[in-house]
Structure 1
Amino acid sequence: MSNIQEMEMALMISLVLTTILTLVLLRKFLKRNTIRVNRPPSPWRLPLIGNLHQVSLNTHRSLRSLSLRYGPLMLLHFGRVPILVVSSGEAAHEVLKTHDLKFANRPKSKAINGLFNGGRNVVFAPYGEYWRQMKSVCILNLLTNKMVASFEKIREEEVNELIEKLEKASSSSSSENLSELFITITSDVISRIALGRKHSEDKTTNDFKKRLRQIMELVGRFPMGDYIPVLAWIDSINGFNKKIKEVSKGFGDLMDKVIQEHVEAGNREEDFVGILLSIENEKNSGLQVKRNDIKFVILDMFLAGTSTTSTLLEWTMTELIRNPECMKKLQDEIRSTMMPNSYIKEKEVANMKYLKAVIKEALRLHPSLPLIIPRLLSEDVKVKGYNIAAGTEVIINAWAIQRDTAVWGPDAEEFKPERHLESALDYQGNNLNYIPFGSGRRKCPGTGLALGLVEVTVANLVGRFDWRAEAGSNGDDSDLAEAIGIDVCRKFPLIAFPSSVV
């Protein structure tokens, strides 16, 4: 072959390779461009930080404000992390029902790694066999209807103790910090169920109640290191890293003490810790329960059974005091059936329709977790015609969904229990316009445990006492100010005067 022919051949090969490379690059460009076109609407974002500057401390409120402009399915970027924000029941249906399995995972964070050993609990565990096993253990040994019913005596004793405190306050015409009382009663009930005894007088446990509030705040924050690794040093400067270690150690010390008590007592299966320890010792059980895992599962029970339940009690009483006409209707329902100076039992509460409507409405306006715990998309998926890439974190704004005027009407921001009296809505997450406990595979399994305590507590507080808030707070919007955290309780404690009527 001549030099000319060799040159022509080389040129031909070069042209073919160039053409192929061009076509490949063009295809990638077109594909990338198509995906970009099909992504959900996004606000303009800043270099490096993305949309973090548009998120306030009350994240659920700022996200709703953005969604009103960009739509119910919105793509944000927190630093390098894409965040899909869902703000309507229709969009939530695709995430929590149609593609629930693909969205069933959890993102990891600095807080989860530090507080829960990367998710060795139920709430934050990655989707998989360990999560299924531990969820099953919790449900079978703690959260079935039969188990919840078996704790009725514990609830009755603790509510009666609460009533005694309020009777003393009534007789002396003094006020009570209901927020603190609600944290105490929920903590004491969970302590007795999960740990076998009440730890109210234990200084370590009193500190632990403060730790619970700190945990909810820490998990609800957006540490820079999670989203912008080059700015991770800020988490050290602002004390975030130190607080994680401090809270984790405080909780760990308490759990070590509780577990050691059970081991020394012979590891009897009289409470949840004892059950978990017995499972740990069963080599043939097939469950991978380790000593450290027990700590994190118990922490789950406290977080779900104490923080979120006390928050629901707090907001329910807040709204009743702010809305005297609703309080009067509920009092009439309760007092029409109760005997003078008697405890209202759970079988009586079961027939109180307006009470149940009041609690449903409190959960609609004030879901204990306004932003359902984030999910992580495990594979590419199309939602409402938009392409969502694997690795995207998903935030479902239950607070915004449950205040959507298109669904709930122009009075969606008002407290109106009557809207639930003829409604078929329940807590199972079947109607995605009402999801105070979530929906799908990662729905909260402790609904019955929480409501069992809330219903009987509210019934007795409202039936046995008239209530008056501190001067200036009744109807004052400052009463609705919200604290910071993954759960949103009141920013300021609920202080009220009980007046005994029996």
Structure 2
Amino acid sequence: MANLHDYTLVIFILFVSTIVVKVVFSKTRNTKGGLPPSPVALPILGHLHLLGPIPHQALYKLSSKYGPLMHLNFGSVSCVIASSAEIAKEFLKTHELSFLDRPNSVAMNIITYGSADFSFAPYGPYWKFMKKLCMSELLGGRTLEQLFPVRQEEIQRFLQSMFCKSKTGESVNLNEELIKVANNVISRMTMSRRCSDTDNEANEVRELIHEIAELTGKFNLSDYISFCKNLDLQGFKKRLEDVHKRFDDMTEKIMKEHEDIRRKTKETGSGGDGVKDLLHILLDISEDVNAEMKLTRENIKAFILDIFVAGTDTSAITTEWAIAELINHPEIFKKAREEIDFAVGKTRLVAESDITNLPYLQAIVKETLRLHPTGPLILRESTEDCKIAGYNIPANTRLFVNVWAIGRDPKHWENPLEFRPERFVMNEDEKSGKSQIDVRGQHFHLLPFGSGRRGCPGTSLALQVVQTTLASMIQCFDWKVDGNGEVDMTEGAGLTLPRAHPLVCIPVARLTPFTSS
């Protein structure tokens, strides 16, 4: 018994000594010229215990104590957290070339075909080639214009469904319905299939993307604790490999169907209607002998996965947050509807081409993205040593830019917790004196789509879908909720800032211009 007591005492002394050494060491190094300020870390875990279920909120609270630039150890991974516009600009603009890579993880390596994936590929020739393709062909203006009828039709289908439910007074889970809209838009644009009809492959896409979003959003010990690197303690690896195989089998089948259609088209000499989905465009590029780089089948599959993961939950969640805010602020809802009635009228459905004439609607979307960014944390990794705000940041340090915290910084936003779209509406004097705040990464106090070279290439598509869907929902319906009419705005856990409770409401038809469109 005495030996056990002595052993326990030794372990306790070693534990306390480790913490004391870490505190002393952190105080000596967390000065100008060393690493940024840091809380006391635990052995092995580092600061993982401080993250909580919603990391961006926990990091925001820590930054209020340790400043806009902090150093944290997540297990054995060294990280820095930027929580102000000024520090974010240092990382994403001044020293952008040092932070153009994204860190690898078990989930990304398995699901996204490793180095074949564009979103997580290292900054280099392949990444530059794919980024140029995205901006010029895949997600460029001409392609988006050609696929406009797809977006228009899916929004009208959604509105018609809501109109049917309004006749019976049926309540609607808007999260589910908006995800269907986004899924159908992406699925039809990508591979000419809808996700909610009888098409089994398209339905499987929806289920797989949901499972992928769930798995990639969970904390995996193997990514942060060095001695767990080759272990699958949580069983994620097995599930990831299963999801990857199912996705690969499905996309391979769809690709072969597209290739059969292409072959028959060439044999018959028929050119079709000239509108190609993104998979056809990718297959064209892969067969182009003059292309800068040869696209492999894995490159194509990885891109299809990227656009589904990036384009479904994010658009749906942003629209859901916007409607929730408008229900809680009826005066803003009324003002938005008056703008639409004035610019569009009541005899036709608002269209994408009308958005430029709806500045207040655009302001509502910007204010929603400020308070509820669907990418609350930008994640990068340094490739070389650099100095930020006087502190040394070594190579291979993981960077988290807390977009959620930056959007609530009182230094840049008056009454930052208020939902006030007017802050984005410029009067005539302001229009001649300064540029309007945008969401494309040029203004570092508003970064919902990232910034610089690694900024989201699908920003234009996302804004088209969100703005047009939201405008049509405002134009055609009132949205009623049970109880006192207030919507709970609590955030849930997840990578894309979901609501803790899905928005369930009853659509009340105001007018139905889509029936004659």
Say yes or no: TM over 0.5: yes
Match of 1:386 in 2: 391
2:335 to 329, 336, 355: 329
Q: What residue identity is the alignment partner of 2:395?
A: A
Match of 1:209 in 2: 206
Q: Secondary structure at the match of 1:480?
A: coil
Q: What residue identity is the alignment partner of 1:413?
A: L
Mapping 1:65-76, distance limit 5 Å: 65-76=61-72
2:220 to 213, 218, 223: 223
Q: Is the 8 A contact 1:279 1:287 kept in 2?
A: no
Mapping 1:25-174, distance limit 5 Å: 38-174=34-170
Pick closer, same or farther for the CA change 1:470–1:205 going to 2, 3 Å. Answer: farther
Q: What residue identity is the alignment partner of 2:202?
A: T
Q: CA deviation at 1:36?
A: 8.7
Mapping 1:170-189, distance limit 5 Å: 170-189=166-185
Match of 2:22 in 1: none
Q: Is the 8 A contact 1:121 1:134 kept in 2?
A: no
Q: What residue identity is the alignment partner of 2:381?
A: L
2: CA distance, partners of 1:34 / 1:461: 51
Q: Which runs of 4+ in 1 moved over 4 A?
A: 32-37
Q: Does 1:359 align with 2:368?
A: no
Q: Does 1:481 align with 2:497?
A: no
Match of 1:494 in 2: 503
2:404 to 399, 406, 423: 399
Q: CA deviation at 1:164?
A: 0.6
Q: RMSD between aligned alpha carbons?
A: 2.1
Q: Is the 8 A contact 1:262 1:274 kept in 2?
A: yes
| Unpaired stretches in structure 2, ≥5 consecutive residues | 1-24, 266-274, 427-434, 512-517
Q: Does 1:432 align with 2:460?
A: no
Q: What residue identity is the alignment partner of 1:245?
A: E
Match of 1:17 in 2: none
Residue by residue, what CA displacement relative to the aligned partner does 1:252-278 show, whole Å, maximum 9, x if unpaired? 222112111101112678211112112
Q: Is the 8 A contact 2:118 2:299 kept in 1?
A: no
2: CA distance, partners of 1:153 / 1:392: 45
Q: Is the 8 A contact 2:100 2:382 kept in 1?
A: yes
Q: What residue identity is the alignment partner of 1:226?
A: D
Residue by residue, what CA displacement relative to the aligned partner does 1:349-378 show, whole Å, maximum 9, x if unpaired? 220111001000000001110001x11101
Residue by residue, what CA displacement relative to the aligned partner does 1:112-156 show, whole Å, maximum 9, x if unpaired? 111112242222111111111112222222222233233222221
Q: Is the 8 A contact 1:402 1:434 kept in 2?
A: yes
1: CA distance, partners of 2:161 / 2:251: 29
1: CA distance, partners of 2:248 / 2:347: 43
1: CA distance, partners of 2:315 / 2:252: 25
1: CA distance, partners of 2:369 / 2:58: 20
Pick closer, same or farther for the CA change 1:34–1:412 going to 2, 3 Å. Answer: closer
Match of 1:449 in 2: 461
Match of 2:420 in 1: 416
Mapping 1:3-22, distance limit 5 Å: none
| Unpaired stretches in structure 1, ≥5 consecutive residues | 1-28
Q: CA deviation at 1:102?
A: 0.8
Q: Is the 8 A contact 2:32 2:391 kept in 1?
A: no
1: CA distance, partners of 2:389 / 2:185: 44
Q: Is the 8 A contact 2:83 2:402 kept in 1?
A: yes
TM-score normalized with structure 1 length: 0.88
1: CA distance, partners of 2:129 / 2:396: 25
Q: What residue identity is the alignment partner of 1:212?
A: I
Q: CA deviation at 1:243?
A: 2.4
Q: What residue identity is the alignment partner of 2:446?
A: Y
2: CA distance, partners of 1:450 / 1:421: 21
Q: What residue identity is the alignment partner of 1:458?
A: L
Q: CA deviation at 1:448?
A: 0.6
Deviates more, 1:441-450 or 1:136-145: 136-145
Q: CA deviation at 1:229?
A: 2.7
Q: Secondary structure at the match of 1:408?
A: coil
Q: What residue identity is the alignment partner of 1:206?
A: N
Match of 1:318 in 2: 324
2:289 to 283, 287, 291: 283
2: CA distance, partners of 1:260 / 1:226: 35
Q: CA deviation at 1:431?
A: 1.3
1: CA distance, partners of 2:471 / 2:30: 57
1: CA distance, partners of 2:101 / 2:343: 47
Match of 1:370 in 2: 376
Q: CA deviation at 1:34?
A: 9.3
TM-score normalized with structure 2 length: 0.86
Q: Is the 8 A contact 1:218 1:244 kept in 2?
A: yes
Deviates more, 1:441-450 or 1:142-151: 142-151
Residue by residue, what CA displacement relative to the aligned partner does 1:218-255 show, whole Å, maximum 9, x if unpaired? 3333311111132357x634332222123222322221
2: CA distance, partners of 1:145 / 1:274: 17
1: CA distance, partners of 2:374 / 2:356: 22
Q: Is the 8 A contact 1:101 1:441 kept in 2?
A: no
Q: What residue identity is the alignment partner of 2:501?
A: F
Q: Is the 8 A contact 1:73 1:84 kept in 2?
A: yes
2: CA distance, partners of 1:35 / 1:379: 21
Q: Secondary structure at the match of 1:84?
A: strand
Match of 2:9 in 1: none
2: CA distance, partners of 1:314 / 1:458: 9
Q: Secondary structure at the match of 1:499?
A: strand
2: CA distance, partners of 1:178 / 1:445: 26
Q: CA deviation at 1:481?
A: 2.8
Q: Secondary structure at the match of 2:446?
A: coil
